[in-house]
Amino acid sequence: MQEEAVADSRQQTEERLIFLRDTERALLDAIESNDGTMKEKITKLAQCMEERINLLDPMLSFAISDISTNITRVLRSLNLPVANKVREYLPDKYKNEQLAKWGKLASIAEKLLEGDLDGRLPIEQSSIGELETFLEQKQKAKNDLDKAITQLNNDIEDVRREAVRRGIMELGKEKLRDAISARDYRFEIPEDADLEELNEEVVTQLKRVIHEYEVFIENFIEYPGYTEEDARKWGNSARTYANMMAIVNEKKWSGEVDFWLDRNYWKKAQSSHKSGNSTFFPTTLCARCSKNIDEDPKDFHVTKYDKTSPTGYRCDNCGSTEIDTRFTSREQVGDKGPEVDRMASDIVNHLEHYVDIFKDWRIRSLNPAIQSRKRAISNEFRVASMGKESIVVPRKKTTHA
């Protein structure tokens, strides 16, 4: 009995859906033939669609809030002007809030383009009061339209910016490019990026650094320094920075610049033997998780900084605060000594001027060329911008006695 009841219910639903579909077709024919009140027919059409959606009609794949949009689309496909009135005729439950502003824009534009004085007397035959009313109506419609167009332009730019951010250079039929004054990668790295993605981002940004340095070199060749003092200072600063990077990248000598400066200090304060003693120079590797490092150099685990740890580090794998030590001979310290001494001298004398390479060069070499070019073309822009778009208000005509 229960199965028969379910079958009867399904049969009734299907019959009701067939009736609603036929009703919709009849309503569309009536709208197309301009028979009867448009608002009443469009409202009934929306109600039929709503009932079909509630009955889970498989032929409809949109929500109740999208009924207005779909009716508009159907009527426009039939080239019916009433399509622009659908949003005005239907209740809010049939309208998509996200698309409401577009319907408002169409309504404002339609009102703005209505005939003079809405069917009243022509302007030439109107009274002063009628002219004032007409002007107020049109100004209000224009202000509303300006606001809607501003919102529309902002939304369009948001879409373009998002496409550029994703690296899309063509969207639809429109070719995109970032603004001239904008910088690539203006956004922070996403918080949900995993370790692999973050490491890829490091490589990407460093490649950008290399590219920008190459562009800077090309520009510097075209606009070199104007004084020997500047060129010498910039050259020594760049040389010092390059030497520091060479030490960072040098795999033969482990450690960075400050590591070797510190070790050279121990050499002078104590001895080469003391300086090479590994007890003075701990690593950041976990002593327990990296105990097989002698057999497999890749079998190590890096600890994390922890101010509550007696060593300053704590392993996130085993929880140990014991860190591995590095073995360095006094011969290595002695071989590195002259280079480290020279590096210390360079850092003191030249590294502080490294930023000046970019700051001063921009001010003293590139900016004059840019300013000169802009000065040369500014007059053309000034002439082109004057008078063409100005609104000229005619003076009131006067009669002479």
Do 9 and 52 belong to one domain?
A: yes
Question: Which residue segment(s) compose the domain that 109 sits in?
Answer: 98-180
Q: How many CB atoms lie within 10 A of CB 210?
A: 9
Strands (E), 20-81: none
Do 131 and 70 belong to one domain?
A: no
Which helix (H) or strand (E) segment holds residue 123: the answer is: none
Q: Is residue 144 part of a domain?
A: yes
For residue 264, what pLDDT band results from cuts at 50, 70 and 90? Answer: confident
146 has a pLDDT exceeding 50: yes
* CA 7 – CA 66 distance, rounded (Å): 31
117 has a pLDDT exceeding 90: no
Q: Is residue 373 part of a domain?
A: no
Do 53 and 172 belong to one domain?
A: no
Q: Is residue 89 part of a domain?
A: yes
Do 10 and 105 belong to one domain?
A: no
Q: Is residue 242 part of a domain?
A: yes
AA identity, residue 154: N
For residue range 276-307, list pLDDT tens digits in order.
565 556 677 888 887 777 777 777 888 887 88
Q: Is residue 377 part of a domain?
A: no
pTM passes above 0.75? no
Residue where a domain terminates, one of 147, 180, 213? 180
Q: Is residue 246 part of a domain?
A: yes
* CA 193 – CA 205 distance, rounded (Å): 15
Do 341 and 251 belong to one domain?
A: yes
* CA 220 – CA 204 distance, rounded (Å): 24
187 has a pLDDT exceeding 60: yes
Q: Is residue 174 part of a domain?
A: yes
Do 240 and 330 belong to one domain?
A: yes
